[in-house]
Amino acid sequence: MNILMTGGAGYIGSILTPRLLAIGHQVTVVDSFMYGQTSLLDCCSQPGFRVVRSDVRRADLLRPLVSKADVIIPLACLVGAPVCSQKPDEARSINLDAIKMLIEMSSPSQMILSPTTNSGYGIGEEGMFCTEETPMRPVSLYGTLKVELEDCLLASGHAVSLRLATVCGISPRMRLDLLVNDFTYRAVTDRFVVLFEAHFKRNYIHVQDVASAFIHAMKNFETMKGQAYNVGLSEANLSKMELCLEIQKQIPDFCIMESEIGKDPDQRNYIVSNDKIEKTGFKPAVTIQQAITELIKGYQIIRRNDFTNL
């Protein structure tokens, strides 16, 4: 199939793009390369790969690309609560308006596979799993925009919304500002971390499994379309303290300290059920322990802090 992917040189796209090419699809990536990344260079030898360096908000450029696509995967996004709060206008134009434009340009015969986020659950009820039926109560602009986007996606009738857990793991376009990646980096380089609100919980998923979820949704589109799915590790609904203790099992001299003063800028706190997507046959392959092991290896290579979205 012909696949149009915006933001295809980002953290997820740099994993998903080569995997789609490897199974025979044609992939056109539109990306501004705003972080100076070179993560898709290995794809340039593939005849099925095309790359367009451009802002994803340009309707004149996107319209002819959309018309040729069988599948649209809008990954271009300012990801995370901190960067969206710093750049609210840009966040709205990229995270919501640009994707609404793609939806309006598309036809019912085309597949739209879009990442949203389980950040939309905001603050869950203690001991209660958030399912796809749980009311969305986002506590950040990032979460709010993703919830509004999901409404537009599902109203189109030809989209699947993947509510991603907090993603982790090594990617050619690396990010250190994601929680597992961040804490493991601190364990490797600093050997200590100071936790604010260490009891706050969230769910996690490896970036390779995120790519697998997109491929799964593509293969099962007819039965999955028009719906939202939580995508995470069912065994990894962990508090920040529990996550750090998992890291400490692999780095025993990692010192974990709690601060009674201070507040986490990201106030999300919830646990998530991934039963719905698992019932379609999808099952993540990478455990949180394997993700930590991989990151420890990767941080023997990466020793600078310019791999963030901030």
Would you state the pLDDT for residue 292? 98
Residue 289 lies in a domain: yes
Residue 306 lies in a domain: no
Q: Which two tokens stand for residue 270?
A: 């919830």
Q: Give every CB contact of residue 300 below 8 A, 6+ residues apart in sequence.
A: 188
Torsions phi, psi for 152 (to 5 deg): -65, -40
Q: Are residues 43 and 25 in the same domain?
A: yes
Q: Are residues 139 and 194 in the same domain?
A: no
Would you state the pLDDT for residue 260? 79
**pLDDT tens-digit readout, 271-291:** 999 999 999 999 999 999 999
pLDDT, averaged across the chain: 94
Residue 174 lies in a domain: no
Q: Are residues 145 and 163 in the same domain?
A: yes
Question: Which parts of the chain have pLDDT scores under 70?
Answer: 262, 264-266, 305-310
Q: Are residues 226 and 241 in the same domain?
A: no
**pLDDT tens-digit readout, 233-245:** 999 999 999 999 9
User: Are the beta carbons of 166 and 204 closer than 8 angstroms?
Assistant: yes
Would you state the pLDDT for residue 309? 60
Q: Are residues 14 and 132 in the same domain?
A: yes
User: Which residue range is the domain that position 190 belongs to?
Assistant: 179-202+235-273+281-298
Query: How many domains, in total, are found in the chain?
Result: 2
In 14-86, the DSSP E strands lie at 26-31, 49-53, 71-74
Q: 88: helix, coil or strand?
A: helix
Q: Are residues 197 and 221 in the same domain?
A: no
User: Are the beta carbons of 51 and 26 closer than 8 angstroms?
Assistant: no
Q: Are residues 183 and 107 in the same domain?
A: no
Q: Are residues 214 and 81 in the same domain?
A: yes
**pLDDT tens-digit readout, 94-110:** 999 999 999 999 999 99
Would you state the pLDDT for residue 305? 59
Q: Which two tokens stand for residue 116?
A: 């949203």
Dist CA 5 CA 39 (whole Å): 15
Q: Are residues 214 and 252 in the same domain?
A: no
Q: Are residues 65 and 154 in the same domain?
A: yes
**pLDDT tens-digit readout, 130-141:** 999 999 999 899
Residue 304 lies in a domain: no
Share of the chain above pLDDT 90, in %: 86
Q: Are residues 161 and 242 in the same domain?
A: no
Amino acid identity, position 295: L
